[in-house]
Amino acid sequence: MGNDTGVEQTLVLLKPDAVARGVVGRILTRFEDAMLKIVASKMVWMDAELMRRHYFDLEDRFGPAVYKAMAVFMQSGPVLALVLEGVDAVACTRKLVGPTYPDQAPPGTIRGDFAHMSQAYANARGIAVANLVHASGNTDEAKHEIAVWFAADEIVEYPSAAERFER
Ligand code: ADP
């Protein structure tokens, strides 16, 4: 989208913990309830190359141990990749998802309601913080990540009921 209406697209991944726990439907309901529109979706088992492309700066930000733990976690099962569309969709989706570490994520957010792991616990065990969802951090990241995960013809245009009510 990317026009002056403020309508944006953002990339969401339901991570392997969300898929394995069978909470995909309940998480998707959160986005649908907020009238965010699903315009693309697919299930993917990540490989090392896609891991590098998606989390290209994670090793620089957190170091090799966290990157390795995340690579193990993200390749431990399939993810459900989605593109969501809506007004200020990037920020709105992050608001619904909540802060990175579930112990700090408030009730009402997906990470706060479906997990409680802390950064300290994950680091002490050398495991990834399993926090159910990835959502693009800003609009530039969203554009880049959507292109990493989806071809242009995999993003579908259709009228949603929400659009009848101007979202
Ligand atoms: P976010 O997903 O909220 O944008 P980051 O981009 O900072 O967060 O981190 C990417 C992902 O890496 C997090 O969602 C989490 O799964 C994992 N992660 C972040 N910090 C750690 C850590 N210290 N130890 C293990 N995993 C981490």
Q: How confident is the model at residue 145 (pLDDT cuts 50, 70, 90)?
A: very high
CA distances to 33, 135, 145 from 109, rounded to whole Å, are 13, 13, 22
Contacting residues for 15 by C-beta, under 8 A, at least 6 apart: 73, 74, 79, 130, 131, 132, 133, 134
> Is the CB of 69 inside a 6 Å radius of any atom of ligand 1?
yes
* CA-closest residue to ligand 1 atom 5: 100
Give the DSSP letter string of 6-36.
-EEEEEEEE-HHHHHTT-HHHHHHHHHHTTP
| CB of residue 134 inside a 6 A radius of ligand 1 | yes
Annotated domain spans of the chain: 3-153
**Does residue 137's CB lie within 6 angstroms of at least one atom of ligand 1?**
yes
Q: What is the pLDDT of residues 99-127, one digit of tens each?
A: 999 999 999 999 999 999 999 999 999 99
80 CA distance to ligand 1 middle (Å):
18
Which residues are identified as catalytic? 134
Q: From CA 167, how far away is CA 102, in angstroms rounded?
A: 29
pLDDT for 55-103, tens place per residue? Answer: 999 999 999 999 999 999 999 999 999 999 999 999 999 999 999 999 9
With a cut of 50, say whether residue 162 has pLDDT above it. yes
Task: Give the residue whose CA is nearest to atom 1 of ligand 1.
Answer: 100
The CATH class for the domain spanning 3-153 reads alpha beta
